[in-house]
Amino acid sequence: MRTTKWLVPTLYIIFLMLPIYWLLSMSFKSTNEILGGFTLWPREFTLANYAEIFTDSVWYNGYINSIIYVSLNTVISVLAALPAAYAFSRYRFLGDKHLFFWLLTNRMAPPAVFALPFLQLYSAVGLFDTHVAVALAHTLFNIPLAVWILEGFMSSIPKELDETAYVDGYPFWRFFIRIFLPTIAAGIGVAAFFCFMFSWVELLLAKTLTSVAAKPIAATMTRTASSSGYELGLLAAAGSLTLIPGAIVIYFVRNYIARGFALGRV
């Protein structure tokens, strides 16, 4: 048993990596080679697909747009969730449990249900096709998640910390920012990671709420389908590039993830 234990995770990781390998390998092939037949690795190694993405403003603007609204969403979600999570973890107040469940129900709302009303709502307030619109729309499912995670982290901090600070004469906000936030830095990291992740991977709402100026990269990728058939090489290169931000973020928070889950309610 002991000696073969590593086999399960190893096989699983190989299973996970195969499609990713295939995507990367295609991104270095020309579309002709991809369509020409099955090749396990690129026969004529080419960087042309990447060159096209980095020189065409429509392509690289897609990445910039995505990163702008994802970052904005992460900041808004975490900032709004921090005081709320503190309230849930420290106080009992009128309707607190119902409010908590109501927040969670929004995590359950299928985006397909909301796509059309969102379009009308954000057009009505004049935010259609802006980064702010997508960032705000994504708070629908990210704020509940951030509150949930942060509440778990905060509840693991003993209340004596707050009380000692008040005895020492700290006003609430000074205590909150100077003492409390640094104590739960790991939790903030985990919450930010999940907000980043869910905003980065979501497409339906992001696509519905934008047309040109704030179009996300994931929506730009549909371009390859319409022009001159499927440009698979280009599509694969664009897809490969979308892996990078996620990989960077997960590398930074890798040590907090397991701890975050264990402490938090998630």
Partner 1 sequence: MNKTVNNRAWFLVIPVVVLVAFNALIPLMTVVNYSVQETFGDNTFFWSGVTWFEKVLRDDRFHGALGRQLFFTGTILLIEVPLGVAIALTMPKKGPWVSVCLVLMALPLLIPWNVVGSMWNIMALPDIGLLGYTLNALGFDYNYTRQPVSAWMTLITMDVWHWTSLVVLLAYAGLVSIPEAYYQAAKIDGARPWAVFRYIQLPKMKRVLTIAILLRFMDSFMIYTEPSVLTGGGPGNSTTLLSIDLVKTALGQFDLGPAAATSLVYFLIVLLVSWVFYTLMMRNEES
Residues in region 86-105 near partner 1 by CB under 8 A: 86-94, 96, 99, 101, 103-105
Side chain identity, residue 181: L
Q: Which two tokens stand for residue 16?
A: 């996970």
CB 90 within 8 A of CB 159: yes
CB 217 within 8 A of CB 66: yes
Q: How far is the CB of 47 from partner 1 (least distance, A)?
A: 20
Q: Give pairs for 108-113: CB < 8 Å, separation 24+.
A: 109/140, 109/141, 111/141, 111/202, 111/204, 111/205, 112/204
Question: Which is closer to partner 1, CB of 213 or CB of 225?
Answer: 225
Question: Which is closer to partner 1, CB of 22 or CB of 54?
Answer: 22
d(CA 52, CA 147): 41
Q: How far is the CB of 212 from partner 1 (least distance, A)?
A: 19
Q: How far is the CB of 80 from partner 1 (least distance, A)?
A: 4
Q: How far is the CB of 20 from partner 1 (least distance, A)?
A: 7
CB 52 within 8 A of CB 230: no
Question: Which is closer to partner 1, CB of 81 or CB of 188?
Answer: 81
Q: Does 75 bind partner 1 (CB under 8 A)?
A: no
Q: How far is the CB of 49 from partner 1 (least distance, A)?
A: 14
Residue numbers 130-149 binding partner 1 by CB under 8 A: 136-137, 139-140, 143-144, 147
Question: Which is closer to partner 1, CB of 19 or CB of 182?
Answer: 19
Cα 20 to chain centroid distance, Å, stands at: 19
Residue numbers 238-257 binding partner 1 by CB under 8 A: 239, 242-243, 245-247, 249-251, 254-255, 257
Candidates 42-50, 52-60, 111-119, 179-187: pick the segment binding partner 1 (CB under 8 A): 111-119
Neighbouring CB atoms inside 10 A of 153's CB total 25
Q: Exposed e or buried b for every residue in 166-198, given b needs 16+ CB within 10 A?
A: eeeebeeeebbeeebeeebebbbbbbbbbbbbb
Q: Which two tokens stand for residue 207?
A: 């696509």
How many residues sit close enough to partner 1 to count as binding (CB under 8 A)?
100
Q: Which two tokens stand for residue 260?
A: 């975050």
Residue numbers 150-169 binding partner 1 by CB under 8 A: 155, 159
Residue numbers 17-56 binding partner 1 by CB under 8 A: 17-20, 22-23, 26, 34-38, 40
From candidates 127, 184, 200, 214, binder to partner 1 by CB under 8 A? 200
d(CA 138, CA 145): 11
207-226 mask for partner 1 (x: CB under 8 A)? ----------xx--xx----
